[in-house]
Amino acid sequence: MSIFLQTVGKNQLTPKQILADPVLFLAFGFGSGLARTAPGTFGTLAAVPIYGVLLLSNNWVYGLVVLLVTGIGIWLCDVATKMLGEHDFGGIVWDEIAGFLLTMWFVPFSWQNLVLGFVLFRLFDIVKPWPIKTVDRQVSGGFGIMLDDILAGIYAGVILYMVA
């Protein structure tokens, strides 16, 4: 039994096809979204090394990267859903990458902040308190896929900033 999906989406793409296509490779968080269970958690884990590199920059560069990741993500997620033939497939985790980077933006680095930011982001992404759940249900396309995770990242980031 594999820990990875055998086929993906209604169009039954294979992991090999996902990894070979640049759009799907990115949308699936460099392959992390192919995990059979908890793809969102694995996608968030894929954001940690990116966060590590961004720690070497200043807040302006970090913010620019977050904006680029988010903007590109709207297009990326929209195209990926069409290629998969399925809206907001769980393996599309680019939105988790953007949301986690947003969570960590204004918080000074420490291992405790990294772990707490990870947990808070995952909590808000899974529980989806108001208005995240409403956005998740009512806003479609790549924008909708990205927006609920951006809101989860804002919620988690504000709380993390207050306790850090």
Mean pLDDT of 97-119: 97
* Spatial distance between the Cα atoms of 60 and 40, rounded to a whole number of angstroms: 27
> What is the per-residue pLDDT across 141-152, written as a single tens digit (0 to 9) for each?
999 999 999 999
**129 — alpha (psi -120 to 50), left (phi > 0) or beta?**
beta
Mean pLDDT of 120-138: 93
Mean pLDDT of the chain: 93
Residue 88's pLDDT is what?
78
Model confidence band, residue 69 (pLDDT cutoffs 50, 70, 90): very high
Q: Tell me the helices (H) and strands (E) count for the chain, helix number first.
A: 8, 0
Residue 2's pLDDT is what?
66
* Spatial distance between the Cα atoms of 124 and 37, rounded to a whole number of angstroms: 18
149 Cβ contact partners less than 8 Å away, ≥ 6 residues apart: 95, 96, 98, 99, 125
pTM of the shown model? 0.94
Residue 6's pLDDT is what?
76
> What is the per-residue pLDDT across 97-107, written as a single tens digit (0 to 9) for each?
999 999 999 99
Residue 136's pLDDT is what?
84
